[in-house]
Amino acid sequence: MGAPALICLGATLMLGLPFRVFGLQLPEPVFPMICVFSWAVIRPSILSPVAILGLGLVLDLLWGTPFGFWGLSMLTGYGLTLAMRPVMTGQSRMMMWAWYAGVCAVTLTAGYLFAMLAFHHPPNIVGVIWQLLATSLLYPFAHRLIDRFDDADVRFR
């Protein structure tokens, strides 16, 4: 659990650097969504929500959101993935990618709603959509993490 979480945090910190290419800032996908989805698909554990909350707190510090904002948003996606885990059994790679994108959409929608409550105005919807697109494109990394633990994968039961 530790290595994927640290890799996701490292990638988040690298893309969080104030670096611009042709005047445009690099996208800021939610890298910990790889862990959120994979850990729920591979094997539910008592440590996963704690690690997700920790990852969320680091995102809160990095992006300047209130403490618990990203942790709560990602735990929403984790809970959805746990609830839908039996339905994911036996699905193809493309269908799992669709599930991953759906979980990302629910997580970012929860974050959008929490931001409206916290800041009393809605975030930029175009920015949220771009972040959803960038995060959804990270599924190959989640698939690789799931495949490393194929003996515990629900797709093979």
Mean pLDDT of 15-34: 79
Query: How many distinct structural domains can be found in the chain?
Result: 1
pLDDT at position 153: 46
Q: Is residue 47 part of a domain?
A: yes
Q: Is residue 122 part of a domain?
A: yes
Q: Which residue, among 154, 19, 5, has the nearest Cα to 82 in the 3D structure?
A: 154
Q: Determine the Cα–Cα distance for residues 118 and 49; give it in Å rounded to an integer.
A: 22
Percentage of residues in the chain having pLDDT higher than 70: 94
pLDDT surpassing 70 at residue 157: no
Query: Please, which residues bridge with residue 25 across strands?
Result: 20
Q: Determine the Cα–Cα distance for residues 134 and 85; give it in Å rounded to an integer.
A: 24
Mean pLDDT of 22-43: 85
Q: Is residue 137 part of a domain?
A: yes
Determine contact, residues 105/132, Cβ cutoff 8 Å.
Answer: yes
**Predicted structure pTM score:** 0.88
Residue 156: which pLDDT band, with cuts at 50, 70 and 90? Answer: low
**pLDDT tens-digit profile of 57-67?**
999 998 888 89
**pLDDT tens-digit profile of 54-111?**
999 999 998 888 899 999 999 999 999 999 998 987 789 999 999 999 999 999 999 9
Residue 52: which pLDDT band, with cuts at 50, 70 and 90? Answer: very high
Domain that holds residue 67: 2-18+30-154
Q: Is residue 43 part of a domain?
A: yes
Q: Is residue 108 part of a domain?
A: yes
Q: Is residue 25 part of a domain?
A: no
Mean pLDDT of 136-140: 95
Q: Determine the Cα–Cα distance for residues 143 and 141; give it in Å rounded to an integer.
A: 5
Q: Is residue 24 part of a domain?
A: no
**pLDDT tens-digit profile of 113-127?**
999 998 899 999 998
pLDDT surpassing 60 at residue 144: yes
Q: Where are the alpha helices (DSSP H) in 64-92?
A: 69-84
Q: Is residue 23 part of a domain?
A: no
For the chain, the first-to-last Cα distance in angstroms comes to 22
Buried b / exposed e along 84-104 (16+ C-beta atoms within 10 A): ebeebeeeeeeebbebbbbbb
3-state secondary structure of 25: strand
pLDDT surpassing 50 at residue 1: yes
